[in-house]
A and B are shown apart, each in its own frame.
Chain A
Amino acid sequence: TQLLEQSPQFLSIQEGENLTVYCNSSSVFSSLQWYRQEPGEGPVLLVTVVTGGEVKKLKRLTFQFGDARKDSSLHITAAQPGDTGLYLCAGAEGTGFQKLVFGTGTRLLVSP
């Protein structure tokens, strides 16, 4: 069974600080997706990375896929209270049908 480990599990920071969330595995994935989930709601897709070494930017969020496609990171610049939530990485193997293997999540709290 493929496992995705996320770190840290919890992060509590002040508004304006920067942070990085890591997602690591010993397995190779064909793609990796990042989601954000709020309490009582389903995960909302933030980004999909496909190519080893790929970097994608979404406003203040920067996503990187490791060269070997086994790990990924999410960096948030100047965090805001609206960034609060559970961040989940999910790896997919193969193309076509893609069962997602989710990490355990990083719970982020950004205080004003």
Chain B
Amino acid sequence: DTGVSQNPRHKITKRGQNVTFRCDPISEHNRLYWYRQTLGQGPEFLTYFQNEAQLEKSRLLSDRFSAERPKGSFSTLEIQRTEQGDSAMYLCASSLGGQGVQPQHFGDGTRLSIL
């Protein structure tokens, strides 16, 4: 059983460039979440997918950010025209669907550094 996989693990780019991250959830999980974590803080929710539908987006997700999950399996998070403040760890999590408590399992994240 493989866990949540994120690629790349690290990304260094210049301000103004576009970056794209990929998340492969646990195979039977139909819910997928993106969070952002800055140094010394807990993760903050960005967006959520149920299968291929993006059902909720945080106000943290500015119009430079877009997330997709086209076939309800892997997801991508793109940041356009990156800014210094985008430097953070971007975490993906997945969970089973259905009612009741469904624990979220996290990947090891993509660390983004903006020069």
- What residues of chain A have their CB less than 8 Å away from a CB belonging to chain B? 4, 30-31, 33, 35, 40-45, 48, 50, 88, 90, 92, 95-105
Query: B111–A42 contact, CB under 8 A?
Result: no
| Contacts A97-B31, A99-B56, A104-B42; A44 near B106 (Cβ below 8 A) | yes
Chain A residues lying within 8 Å of B93, measured Cβ to Cβ, are 42
Chain B residues lying within 8 Å of A31, measured Cβ to Cβ, are 101
Query: A102–B55 contact, CB under 8 A?
Result: no
- What residues of chain B have their CB less than 8 Å away from a CB belonging to chain A? 4, 6, 31, 33, 35, 40-45, 48, 50, 55-56, 91, 93, 95, 98-109, 111
**Count of CB-CB pairs between chains A and B under 8 Å:** 69
A95 to B50: give the CA distance in the assembly, Å.
14
A102 to B37: give the CA distance in the assembly, Å.
10
Query: A97–B42 contact, CB under 8 A?
Result: no
Query: B104–A42 contact, CB under 8 A?
Result: no
Query: B108–A42 contact, CB under 8 A?
Result: yes
Enumerate 21 A-B pairs (CB-CB under 8 Å) in ascending A order. A33-B103, A42-B93, A42-B106, A42-B107, A43-B43, A43-B91, A44-B106, A45-B103, A45-B105, A48-B103, A50-B101, A90-B42, A92-B101, A97-B48, A98-B95, A99-B45, A101-B45, A102-B35, A102-B43, A105-B40, A105-B41
Query: A97–B56 contact, CB under 8 A?
Result: yes
| Closest CB in chain A relative to B4 CB, distance in Å | 7
Q: Which of A40, A45, A104, A105 touches B104 (beta carbons < 8 Å)?
A: A45
Query: A104–B111 contact, CB under 8 A?
Result: no
Which of chain A's residues has its CB closest to B95's CB? A98
Query: A105–B42 contact, CB under 8 A?
Result: yes
Q: Which of B40, B41, B44, B102 touches A98 (beta carbons < 8 Å)?
A: B102
| Closest CB in chain A relative to B75 CB, distance in Å | 15
Query: B44–A102 contact, CB under 8 A?
Result: yes
A4 to B45: give the CA distance in the assembly, Å.
14
